[in-house]
Every structure is written in structure tokens, then in C-alpha cells.
Chains A and B, each alone.
Chain A
Amino acid sequence: MNRLDISAARPTESVLSTNKLIKNTYILLSMTLLFSAVTAAASVMLNVPGWTYMASIIGAFLLIWLVLPRTANSSTGLVVVFGITGLMGFGLGPILNMYLSMANGPQIVGTAMAGTGIIFLGLSGYALSSKRDFSFMGGFLVAGLLVVFMAILANLFIALPALQLAISAAVIMLMSGFILYDTSRMVNGGETNYIMATIGLYLNIYNIFIHLLSLLGALSGDD
């Protein structure tokens, strides 16, 4: 059976619930991104120490692994999502302060933000309008993610700048693939929980922003 035909053959209730899922996901995603921006601005102004990034990421991932799966089907899940995204936004403070202290820092940060927004809107819009089923990418994306984790682990100790650039480029491409995959899962019924859908898309956007910032910072020529 051609997977392209699945959405066309779905009953009206299913289409309505998919539309509701997409609407709720994008509303929650907008709110969490805004909340993240507020906590990031607070941490920039407070000039928090460098280890805050690590502590925030570890704290957020503990919430994602241990708390979110148990609360995603209740209203508590909303509080947890804001906790995760607020924490991850707060962790951005030391990174943003580092880039903002560069000669063309504000331009780099602004370009990374705008670039991330354009990449997300373009890819998500493409997946929504084409209604294609990108589920065939799942295995490839998750295998790529494991390879990237191993490369990041290795680069912690060998610290090669070229490998760091390659990792950033790979993460941007992988997260772009995940945006197509996650959006198509919402459209084609693979994901029915808007809280889980939101956190997936949020992580894609967050990672693209961090790694675009890293690429722009390293290759801008003014550092």
C-alpha cells in the first residue's frame, strides 16, 4: 500500500483530532519557546557560571526520562514541559554571554535565532503541506543520533575543532530530519499526545539553535 494515501483515506473524526493535535502542539510550542527566551534572558542578565548549562541539561533530561512519561497524559505534564523548557532556556545563559562578548556576537546570536526559526518553519510547513509519511527515516535518524553521541563523547577528550564543526553540521542535519519525522508523525497518527509532540519539536529547535550558534561563532572569522 502506498503510504502517501493513508491520510487521504482517514475518517473525518481522525482528521479533526489530528488538526486539534497539531494546533495544540504549535500553541504549546510557541508558549514554551517564549518561556525559554524569558529564562534565557534572565540567566544572561544574572551572568550565571558556565556549569549552569551542564546542570540545566542534565536536570532537563532527567525530567524527560523519569517524570514526563508518567505525567504526559495529565495536566501535570504541562507543568513538567514548562519546567523542562524553562530549565533548558536558563542553561543557555553562559553560552549566550560567551557569544555576546564577541565583537560581532549580537549579530551571530540574532542570525542563529532567525536561521533556526526559518529552518523550523520551512521544514515543518513542508511536512504539514506535503502530508508525506516520513516514518521510514526513524531507524536512520536514531542510528545517526547514536553516532553523534559517540562522536561528542570522543571529542570531549580529543578536543578536535574540526570534529566539533562536523558534529555541529551533523546535528543540524539530523535535527532537520527529526523535524520532518516528528511533524509527519503528528499528521499521520504516529503521535497522539501534544505534550510529547511539543517536547520532541522543542528539542529539535533547541539543538539546531545551539549548533548553528557554534558553527556561526567558529566560522564567522571575527573570533
Chain B
Amino acid sequence: MDWTKIIWAVAIVAMILVLWPRAKQMMKDTPKAEKGDWQAVVLPLAFVAGFVILLIMLV
């Protein structure tokens, strides 16, 4: 097996382990979305998705 894959795997596991406590805390502390909050996110992200598809068609 390629040695770089093993180093990448160790690095990614380390990233997950470092991120895990902070992620747990963030998931616990995140305020609940109010009415219309997700709509305000979905619209710009849909534009990003459409824009990326446009770029793929351009190259």
C-alpha cells in the first residue's frame, strides 16, 4: 500500500479526534432555527450549486 495513504489516514483520524469534542459541543449549543431561517440558506446554496454546474458546462 502507498505510504502516503497511511499518513493521510492517520492525519484524517487525528482531525476527526480533534474536531469531535468541539463538534459535540457545537451540536449541543447550536440555537434552533426559526421560521424562514433555512429558506435564507437554501436559496444562496442553490445558486452556488447552479453556478458550479454552469462552470462545469463551460470547461
Give A residues with C-beta under 8 Å from B: 2-3, 50-51, 54, 57-58, 61, 65, 104, 107-108, 111-112, 115, 118-119, 122-123, 126, 130, 132, 134-140, 142-143, 145-146, 149-150, 152-153, 156-157, 169, 172-173, 176-177, 180, 212, 215-216, 219-220
Contacts and interface: CB of A to CB of B under 8 A. Distances in A.
19 contacts: A57-B11, A104-B59, A111-B59, A115-B51, A115-B52, A115-B55, A122-B48, A123-B44, A123-B48, A136-B30, A139-B26, A139-B29, A146-B23, A176-B48, A177-B45, A180-B41, A215-B52, A219-B56, A220-B56
Given A149-B16, A219-B59, 4 more contacts: A65-B18, A126-B44, A132-B37, A135-B30
B46 to A, nearest CB: 10
A81 to B, nearest CB: 19
Contacts of A51: 4
A119 B51 contact: yes
B45 to A, nearest CB: 6
A216 B27 contact: no
Contact of A146 (B11, B16, B31, B49): B16
B32 A216 contact: no
Contacts of B22: 142
Interface of B: 4-5, 7-9, 11-13, 15-16, 18-20, 22-23, 26-34, 37, 40-41, 44-45, 47-49, 51-52, 55-56, 58-59
B51 A118 contact: yes
Contact of B59 (A107, A140, A142): A107
Contacts, number: 113
Contacts of B29: 138-139
Contacts of A138: 26-27, 29-30
Contacts of B44: 122-123, 126, 176, 180
A174 to B, nearest CB: 10
B58 A111 contact: yes
